[in-house]
Structure 1
Amino acid sequence: MDFNDTAVQAEFRAEVQEWLAANAQRKQAGEPGKMALSDEAKLADAKQWQGKKAAAGWGAIAWPKVLGGRGGTPMEQVIWRQEVAQYDELDDFFTIGLGMCAPALMAFASNEQKAQYLPRLASGQDVWCQLFSEPSAGSDIAALRTTAKRDGDKWRINGQKVWTSGAHFADYGIVLCRTDPTVPKHKGLTLFFIDMKQPGVDARPIKQADGGGHFSEVFFNDAVVSDDQVLGEIGGGWKGCLTVLMNERLAVGNAQPTGFARFHELSKSLQINGKPAIDDGMVRSHMADWYVRYAGLKHTNNRILTALSKGAMPGPEGSIAKLVAAPMNQAINRYAVQLLGQAGVITDPTLARMQAHYQKEFLFSPGVRLAGGTDEVLRNIIAEQVLQMPQESREDKTVPFNELPTGL
């Protein structure tokens, strides 16, 4: 691994640093900053920030210039993320659209569609969401039951998706549907894109334990899409699905939150028996264990970045980051709430220390372990694709979907 920037990368990093210093708001230690805004205020602020970035050429660094990007490299996109992380900007608000939906459009949409939709996404005018997960399918995406049935040169979509991030404020989405139930489950799927504001689409925010409504359930009731909204081949949706999921690893795999750095700051300011918490033996023991994991994640990420800098795409190794970081994030926030004592039960941001940051993060942390792949799915990916262990027996891969036993 080479931890140093090349001359070109160093020049790019300096340019990013100069622009951010002049145009972005730095984080304040111990403060939640813009994360404490309401969902509506976050959306407005994120759109403004994305537009500002795009006008200066930072909106979609690795995209072609003709589509609203900078024509840069994936490594330059990583450098941007490293530098903007020091600032209090909602830079991840468009991650799903830019990092997951856009690659599917670039791979499968027509040139006219790319020119119509991608520049608007890069500039923050439109928000996109990904509609894969379903109540009855769990972590097995290929077991989905949302259908798209042909009606002339149109398709009628019926069914339900769930845990869709940002669906209630999204303008467009990519949706995976079953178009042929008479073939094995992976072969009867088709990927579409859809207007989230059209008739037949109903996105309902799910009220979360932390008080937020980041996720939604989405109901399709005869939502009509045309043939030119098919992404890829009819019946080839699994290929499109994998395109999205592999780019998901690149988009979010190296940016999993652990909460370690913020907790380190808290441990220096919080008092236990009249002394800083960081001087307490038990706190130091936890800190040591989490630092080992934190350092391990950093170096695992550096391996991924080394491959990326050489032109390779991140592989299934990216699953390691989330499998370690998400449980660690949950454990750190749980422990922080315990250290706050009786104050840890106060969730009113106007009364609680740090605007109830740790209370909210603790309540939200189980969702982090579900989003982007559950622990069990990630362990399977690592076992089968990284360690090359034998796959589980899956008889349902060869059975027509409509012949699979079901309790429904």
Structure 2
Amino acid sequence: MATDRASSPVTGPRALRPGEWDQWYDSLLRAFGGVPEAAEERELWASLTETGRSIGVWDGDAVIGTASAFDFRLTVPGGASVPAAGVTMVSVAATHRRRGVLTSMMRRQLDDVRSWGRPLAVLTASEPAIYGRFGYGVGTYNVNARIDTTRVRLSVPPGTDGVRLRYAAPADVLDACEALYARRVPLRPGMVARAPGWERLMLLDPASERDGASPLQCVVAERDGEVVGYARFRVKPVWEPAGARGTVLLENMEALDPAAHAAVWRFLFDIDLTSVIDARRRPVDEPWQFLVSDIRRCELLVRDSLHVRLVDVGAALEARAYQVPLDVVFEVEDSFCPWNAGRWRLTGDAKGASCARTADPADLALGVRELGRVYLGGVSLASLAGAGLVRELRDGALAEASVGFGSAVAPWLPHGF
């Protein structure tokens, strides 16, 4: 990498060495505002960080660039669990902007991901505009909701009254909740299988980040002695002259069936001394939205979530299934990872797929960023074509591929990393 403007010895990117994590992580925190983390949070990320998958750039003895990757397994359409690099902890010091530091780290990282045999790289972006030039496209969205429970009523399906709810200390029921979560992972694209250690993220509860809310609470839903749903949440009391107007802050929840889902949501609606549910990072098609009496008073806000990058186009497209039989040739443009560029023939159906290079005429032309956008089934090729980002070269190919790439449920990333 070139030296900086003052000709000081800028080196890297290179892999993190033992003993460098604290300095490296301090540089990351400074880039994100410099607010110290609670000891429990810092210790968790230290335990989860894989130094062999972490890189940095140095200016003399100072860390001025950071990037890392977690080794994940990501659910894709069809239910397969695909190895993916979870790109994280990316930062560049404000003193070293516009000097190619980020580009050099993205170059090194994607080369590394390819060498690890991972067909996908995924990330959540602090600033969505950053990563498109490196081939990442927004592949999943989530919904934030602020529900006025004084004005909105919830209808529930038959069987809801047969679900028993009880409070439990979050740590005491962690294993049962994680087992339920694991059952849900194969059912929705975008969900991440939590490797050992990641369950601790669900209990992270530093007092410094509660902003006046309670410590983490948990309720579990049971039927015939089996845990069929749960919610982790906080309650933020608010008192006004007219009375209580507290807020329920929903952290995460899962349920196995419609009755359990409705029972948990009904509980959240009915918590005493509250009038608002603040639910963040929920699926865009979550069923509670179809049970409420007034969706306008739920104040839905859709935002980007998981950004997807195909590192190996052939392996990635082979790893997922397709809703209808497909036989389509893509002309792929990928200037940052040129090994992906060229024509690929994809043949597949609901049982599986194959994808290989071909010299046959192309049916559709698009960039690798657009493949990332449609990969998990939450964005359609037809929508991107309407924006001029996909070109149809064979009549009928666009409609065929758009249906094939879809998903019966919206892809969703449950939590950040």
Normalising by the residue count of structure 2, what TM-score does the alignment of the two structures yield?
0.29
Larger relative strand fraction: 2
What is the TM-score of this pair, normalised by structure 1?
0.30
Structure exhibiting the larger radius of gyration computed from Cα positions: 2
Greater length-normalized contact order (CA 8 Å, ≥ 6 residues apart): 2
